[in-house]
């Protein structure tokens, strides 16, 4: 028995009939509540690794256990994603025609919450990211940093045990980026959420408990 929330062994993932090997035998263990940053050159496989952990894609080889789920075997992964994972992307990817509050409610559909519970939870999360004043706005009426904060609130909607952030500050200026990071590290320290963040910025990476370097689809030691 150990307290690893993620255990990855010899994970491989290729694209275009394995002509491109995005992951080339990844071995990785991450403890529950850890804050891990992932760095590496462009095309080294960071996003692919994050997608494997978040069960957005299936590996070709190897094993991957996340929060007690064997992802190579599981068939319907939507429940796993809904219950365990919160994604934050480089681009916020919010739905433009509905309000900020409604965007935060989106992940809660089909989770058994009533409309009132969904609304209350969305308001609480938007308050947490400092957007109480703008809940009725459309994403197009917000600044880049504000949109990314909405994306954080959305990622937290179903109380995930793991947050996967793929360059969350990549499209923001450094000041706005810092604000986003504050929220994420606060979340990590207060809620004991496991936080895995891909970044190109060494100063951001250094905030993490541990930094993992990925090169050519492998973890460098």
Partner 1 sequence: MSFFSLIVKNPFRNKTRTALAIVGIAIGIATIVALGIITDGLKASTEETLKAGGSDFIVVEANVSDMFFSKIDEKYVNEITKIDGVDQAAGVLMAMQSVEDNPYFVIIGIDAKNIQFSDMKITKGKVFSSGDAREIIIGKVASEKMNKTVGDTITLSGDKYTITGIFETGDLQQDGGAFMSLANVQKMESKEDKVTMIYVKIDKGADVEKVTAEVDKKYKSELTTVASLEDLASVDQGLSIIDTASWAISLLAIVIGGIGVINTMIMSVYERTREIGVLKAVGWKNRRILGMILGESIVLTLVAGIVGCVMGIVAIQALMLLGMGGFLKPVYNFDVFARGFAVALIVGLIGGFYPAYRASRLPPTEALRYE
Ligand X SMILES: Nc1ncnc2c1ncn2[C@@H]1O[C@H](COP(=O)(O)OP(=O)(O)OP(=O)(O)O)[C@@H](O)[C@H]1O
By rule CB under 6 A, what string of x and - marks binding of each residue 41-80 to ligand X? Answer: -xxxxxxx--------------------------------
Q: Does 150 bind partner 1 (CB under 8 A)?
A: no
CB-nearer residue toward Mg ion: 47 or 161: 47
CB of 44 closer than 8 Å to CB of 219 = no
Q: Does 112 bind partner 1 (CB under 8 A)?
A: no
CB of 92 to ligand X, least distance (A): 16
Nearest to residue 38, comparing CAs of 29, 49, 27? 49
DSSP string covering 44-100:
SSHHHHHHHHTTSS--SEEEEEETTEETTT-S--HHHHHHHEEEE-SS----TTS-H
Structure tokens at 19: 């002509």
Q: Does 109 bind partner 1 (CB under 8 A)?
A: yes
CB of 82 to ligand X, least distance (A): 23
CB of 164 to ligand X, least distance (A): 12
Q: Does 167 bind partner 1 (CB under 8 A)?
A: no
Q: Does 140 bind partner 1 (CB under 8 A)?
A: no
Structure tokens at 18: 């394995």
CB of 221 to partner 1, least distance (A): 27
Q: Does 123 bind partner 1 (CB under 8 A)?
A: no
Phi and psi angles of residue 189, each rounded to the nearest 5 degrees, phi first: -75, -35
For the chain, report the end-to-end CA distance as a whole number of angstroms.
Answer: 25
What is the 8-class DSSP label of residue 210?
E
Q: Which of 17, 78, 140, 221 binds partner 1 (CB under 8 A)?
A: 78
Q: Does 98 bind partner 1 (CB under 8 A)?
A: yes
Q: Does 22 bind ligand X (CB under 6 A)?
A: yes
Number of residues that bind partner 1 (CB under 8 A): 34
Distance CA 102, CA 193 (A): 24
Q: Does 47 bind Mg ion (CB under 5 A)?
A: yes
How many residues would you count in the chain? 221
Rule CB under 6 A: which residues touch ligand X? 15-16, 20, 22, 40, 42-48
């Amino acid at each position: 028995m150990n307290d690893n929330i993620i255990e990855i062994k010899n994970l491989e993932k290729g694209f275009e009939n394995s002509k491109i090997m995005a992951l080339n035998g990844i071995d990785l263990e991450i403890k529950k509540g850890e804050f891990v940053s992932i760095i590496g050159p462009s095309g080294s496989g960071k996003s692919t690794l994050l997608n494997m952990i978040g069960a957005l894609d299936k590996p070709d080889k190897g094993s991957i256990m996340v929060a007690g789920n064997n992802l190579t075997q599981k068939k319907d992964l939507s429940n796993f994603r809904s219950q365990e994972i919160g994604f934050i992307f480089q681009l916020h990817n919010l739905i433009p025609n509905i309000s900020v509050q409604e965007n935060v409610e989106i992940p809660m559909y089909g989770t058994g919450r009533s409309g009132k519970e969904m609304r209350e939870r969305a308001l609480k999360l938007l308050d947490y990211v400092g957007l109480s004043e703008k809940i009725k706005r459309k994403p197009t009426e917000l600044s880049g940093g504000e949109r990314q904060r909405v994306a954080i609130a959305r990622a937290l909607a179903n109380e995930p045990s793991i947050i996967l952030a793929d360059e969350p500050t990549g499209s923001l200026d450094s000041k706005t980026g810092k604000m986003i990071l504050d929220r994420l590290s606060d979340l990590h320290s207060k809620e004991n959420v496991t936080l895995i963040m891909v970044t190109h910025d060494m100063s951001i990476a250094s905030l993490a408990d541990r930094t993992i370097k990925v090169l050519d689809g492998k973890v460098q030691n």
